[in-house]
Amino acid sequence: MVDAATISQQQPAGGVQPDAAPEPYYLPGADEVEVFTQCHAQGLAVMLKGPTGCGKTRFVEHMAWRLQRPLITISCHDDLSASDLIGRFLITHDGTVWQDGPLTRAVREGALCYLDEVVEARQDTVVVLHPLTDHRRQLPIDKTGEMLQAAPGFGLVVSYNPGYQRMLKDLKPSTRQRFVALDFDFPAPEAEARIVARESGIAEPDARALVQLAQRLRALHDRGLAEVPSTRLLVAAAQLAVRGVELRRACVHAIVAPLSDDAALAAAMRDLVDATFV
């Protein structure tokens, strides 16, 4: 069953319009904003592909703000069932009541529904998305006998990390071909430095040094580093530094330690930290 930590909902409260919320900061890398906008206008489902922490979730938050749509985010995992998405009957003191799941709420309300790391979900769960990704735009609710038509504004977005999950899991071709795909990667160095500085408040020279470190560490991908440092990790290190943690120590705690438990690999990464911040 999906718990409260698995689902987040970004939508107006108390009658406040979505565009009254502050704009989620996002720096476009190519034409992804234009393509996503056209996909939403045509009712096309969208797949975001890219490494961990490269900005996929922030992009969806930004697009929900631009399109003035509520956003319901679901973090997928191995135990995610179709009932967790669609809904279930709950037993109350005076009988049973139906409770919509997050996917059903999004379909009813015309919200954007974002399934983060969708391949982590079971295949029988992913299949329930199929009728929403073609011309039907419908969600069958077998337990209630309802055939729910997607409300205007509904959009389905999924994401995954192909570099990591290709070795473990992947989407079936029959599922992949139901989506328009947008490829994401880490921003260009200049743009990544701007993002780190903007998100953390760190000085731009230090932001550029963090990005330089990230580029050096990312070169270790072919030497046993399963996951390379993300922009998210750079921001975390910068936030520690802004609050008084010495920058080298911030990099060790926020970048090196989360990436690997291998002693030799961690030592090599610490050497790169020392070489960057001489």
In the block, residue with structure tokens 């059903």: 104
CATH number of the 7-183 domain:
3.40.50.300
Distances from the Cα of 17 to the Cα of 9, 48, 104, 109, 111, angstroms: 15, 27, 22, 14, 13
Phi–psi pair at 160, nearest 5 degrees: -165, 165
Rg (Cα) of the chain, in Å, rounded? Answer: 21
Domain residue spans in the chain? 7-183, 189-276
In the block, residue with structure tokens 């709950």: 90
Position 37, amino acid: T
Q: What is the largest CA-CA distance in the chain?
A: 69
Q: Sort strands 146-149 and 95-100 into parallel, antiparallel or unpaired.
A: unpaired
Contact status, residue 250 vs residue 261, Cβ threshold 8 Å: no
pLDDT at site 1: 45
pLDDT in tens, 98-110: 999 999 999 999 9
DSSP state of 81: -
pLDDT in tens, 208-266: 999 999 999 999 987 888 889 999 999 999 999 999 999 999 999 999 999 999 999 99
Contact status, residue 113 vs residue 103, Cβ threshold 8 Å: yes
CB-based contacts of 97, cutoff 8 Å, min separation 6: 89, 90
User: CA torsion sign, 80 to 233 to 156 to 158?
Assistant: negative
What global pTM score does this model have? 0.87
